[in-house]
Chains A and B, each alone.
Chain A
Amino acid sequence: MPTVVTSDTPSPAQSRVSRLQIWAAFASFLVLAPSLVLGGYSSGLLVQAFIFGTVALITDIVWGYSGVLTFASAAMFGIGAYALGILFVHLSPSLAAVAAALAIAVIAAGLLSAVIGWLAFYSRTKVSDFYVAVVTLGVSVVFEQAVLYGGATTGGSNGLSGFTTFSLNNQSWYVIGGIGLLAFGGTALRIVGSDFGLILRAIRDNEARCRYIGIRTPLIKTVVFSVCNALLAAVGVFYSLYTTVVAPSLVGMTLATNVLIWVILGGRATIIGPALAAILVTVATPQLTTTIPLYWQGLLGLTFVLVVLFLPRGILPAIWDGIKSALSVVGLNTTIMAKANANADTLFETRSPALSSVAGQTVLDVLDVSKRFGSFQALTNVSLTVQRGELLSIVGPNGAGKTSLVKCISDGDERSSGSILIGGKSIEHNAPELITRLGVGRKFQAASIFETLTVGECIKIATWKGEVPSIWNRHSNVVLPRGAAEVAETLGLKHVWDISAKDISHGQRQALELAMVLALEPSVLILDEPTAGLTTHERSIVGDVLMRLLATGQLAIILIEHDFEFVKRISTRIVVLVNGQIVANGTVEEVSNSEIVRDAYLGRSHKENMK
């Protein structure tokens, strides 16, 4: 039995803070010191570089962390820049006008982004990955057109320039810009390092899995997209306040292109990389356009293509990997491994489930469910009822509709007709994340996990059951319900707790997904071939864990499995599905002695048997 362990070692969060402070001081020095030595022109250029650095790092949250390829950053930035320009030129340059411009820009960019989010993320038809890229590209183009043909209001292709602004010297602008960059960068790093940041990375890695652990990904993506774009608009306000020039050529497709280049070159999902790339490219551009005027843009394009081809993660991560591998050659990397093992006992706490439910209670009703794909009938009037404490196995030949049936149970949009109740509540036509919250936990056939997260992080995310965690802190304690803890203990997940999920063995991947689903404490646990690719030993462990879970009477398990020995050992009931219809539904003895099942497994013709 796993023991309850409380940790009293200094929490990693604390040591992170002190390290963070050192880094912050170091970064502030780096950013702010040059203003003491640089002349007006250079520090003026650096202010622009800082502004673009901020744009790049905000875009990185949207693209690198949340996985939303956006071309709209420039347009959002432009909304802010033009809001201020228009108010200053057509009204008066004043603090009130700045406030008004900020309010207008933030609200306009936020609302526009919310609409885009609704279009791109809330669609129930499966829109392609390109879609959000297309929409944001469209927004950029429309924005550029709008300001080009905006007449006197926007100044057409010349834009608005030379309006009066607050008279601050270059040094003050520099300090404001530098502090802004540091504040945004620090906040961004803090957020992506928080528990919420973990959710963002999970969404980027595997959105489907997120939805099946109850995370409302459309909402989260829309909110992140809107907030970041509103911030970009605010940065845009500051930009035109500083430069006193806004023109289509400054905020149109050119900037949209540049933002992409910065983020790609610096490295997606690193925050620092895109910001650095933006600063360096911005500073280098005027220099290099005078020395090699004709080749600079082309060179940038070439570098961009090469990085996409050969260093898709960006230059900064490549350098970082290089340093790490150099260190490991010298043998410095072993400390990390030692640390991981020393912590093995304090990885998580185990919690007994609250006894609220009774075995025998009906927990799943499938009523007359049919599913068609075009002219193909995958399921025909399937009805079944499952009680808590039951392990129902669904067997049948390939293409019989087994996976279609569990899809229908876990996603309200899948079935063509009929109804499904979880614990007496209809699933309606709801999205998977809402059905997960009703108590359905689904393990996919091919282990669906978060590749770039560590094993521990994958499990931790599941324990939140879709609730949004802290966006500021990273809490280190993980509390697992007994079943999940048992899987983690017995199938060796503890040994790989701090290893990326993409680097663990096939058996461990299956175990990890099982632990994640169990962490949801589902009342209906759907397992699609949980033992595929496992060794005999691992199979028997999984079987034992499932039997013990069942004995608690908390949940019902629906199992799809080809290994009939396994099915016979652990099932309480078996349903045979052939050509989308239930042809047998009974105890293990009843069903395994029937001719139909023999045929289902031998792959013979079933038609004549059914006549």
Chain B
Amino acid sequence: MSSVLSCDQLHSGYGAVEVLSGVSLKIQASDIYALVGKNGAGKTTLLQTILGVLKATAGSIMVFEKEVAGMPTHRIVTSGLACAPQEKAFFNDLTVDENLRLGSLSSSKSEFVSGRDRVIEMFPFIANRLRQRAGTLSGGEQAMVKVARALLPKPKLVLLDEVTEGLQPLTIDRVRDVLMRDHTERNTTILVVEQNVDFVAGFATRYGLMERGQIRAEGSFAEADAVDRISEHLSI
């Protein structure tokens, strides 16, 4: 099987601060990979580096078997990858519809409209909110629109950064169902960055435990002790 995303000995950080000190990971096509770790472990930094927002100081990043380290963000993103950032994920003064549109600029107008219908089927409440300004959505609604925007252009790889933070269990279940459905229908590869064990358990296929800028351990959810290992890693 071909790897969709792989990092090899990746180093990166903010200015003089090295946050990632040698991250190596490999995500195969149609994996749902859960990247788990406490605050400050470097999860978001890893995503930002993959996206080219932060420059990798050493190591390689392959997306769809193509080296992307050093490429500008917009080119990495338009290669069939979409992401839902954790913070500042919306153009607050633009409408929900405009926010969705900005997530699929490379699609034609008609592709966008059919894609929009598809995500409205996933999250029906969006239909009534298209004209609403994104900044006025509630936290839960924002999380769902964020996921919808990422899935709309039918990406082969989706990166989700703690989309469930601060959400109600019902909303979390809904988001998970949508992701599962998209995964089964289109064989989407998904990388979820999470601190919530309940969300990834029974959904992700593999996991990586991140700590101090490195992946300390990896495993498969097929193993019986997976949830315990993750909980232990996150425990205080």
Contact = CB atoms under 8 A, between A and B. Distances in A.
Asked if the two chains touch in their complex, CB atoms less than 8 Å apart, one says yes
Interface stretch (B13-21, B54-62, B116-124, B182-190): B13-21
Interface of B: 14, 16-19, 38-40, 86-87, 136, 162, 164-169, 172, 194-198, 234-236
B18 A592 contact: no
A506 to B, nearest CB: 5
A604 B168 contact: no
A93 interface: no
A19 interface: no
B166 A606 contact: yes
Contact of A603 (B16, B165, B169, B235): B165
Contacts of B14: 446
A427 to B, nearest CB: 29
A540 to B, nearest CB: 15
B196 A505 contact: no
A533 B234 contact: no
Contacts of B164: 603
Residue picked from A506, A592, A602, most chain B C-beta under 10 Å: A602
Given A564-B236, A592-B236, A602-B197, A399 B16 contact: no
A562 B39 contact: yes
A78 to B, nearest CB: 43
Given A399-B87, A564-B236, A608-B168, 19 more contacts: A397-B39, A397-B166, A398-B39, A398-B165, A399-B166, A506-B16, A506-B18, A532-B40, A533-B17, A562-B38, A565-B236, A592-B236, A601-B38, A601-B39, A602-B195, A603-B162, A604-B198, A605-B166, A607-B168
A563 interface: yes
27 contacts: A375-B136, A397-B39, A398-B165, A505-B16, A506-B16, A506-B17, A509-B16, A529-B40, A532-B40, A533-B18, A562-B38, A564-B236, A579-B166, A592-B236, A601-B39, A601-B195, A601-B234, A602-B195, A603-B164, A603-B166, A603-B195, A604-B198, A605-B167, A605-B172, A606-B166, A608-B168, A608-B169
Contacts of B87: 398-399
A562 B196 contact: no
A597 interface: yes
A372 interface: no
A597 B40 contact: no
Interface in A553-611: 562-565, 579, 592, 597-598, 601-608
A592 B236 CA distance: 8
Contacts of B17: 506, 533
Contacts of B195: 601-603
8 closest A-B pairs by CB: A603-B195, A562-B39, A562-B40, A564-B236, A506-B17, A533-B17, A506-B16, A601-B236
Contacts of A597: 236
A606 B166 CA distance: 7
A130 to B, nearest CB: 23
Interface in A109-156: none
Contact of A602 (B16, B18, B86, B234): B234
B236 A605 contact: no
Contacts of A397: 39, 165-166
B192 to A, nearest CB: 13
Contacts of A533: 17-19
Contacts of B162: 603
A436 to B, nearest CB: 26
Contacts of B235: 598
B163 to A, nearest CB: 11
B45 to A, nearest CB: 11
A598 B231 CA distance: 11
Interface string A529-551: 10011000000000000000000
Nearest to B234: A602
Contacts of B16: 505-506, 509
A575 to B, nearest CB: 16
Contacts of B39: 397-398, 562, 601
A579 B167 CA distance: 12
Residue picked from A506, A565, A579, most chain B C-beta under 10 Å: A506
Residue picked from B14, B40, B172, B236, most chain A C-beta under 10 Å: B236
Contacts of A506: 16-18
Nearest to A509: B16
B168 A605 contact: yes
Nearest to A579: B166
B48 to A, nearest CB: 15
Contacts of A579: 166
Contacts of A563: 40
Nearest to A505: B16
A592 B172 CA distance: 26
B236 A603 contact: no
A509 B18 CA distance: 13
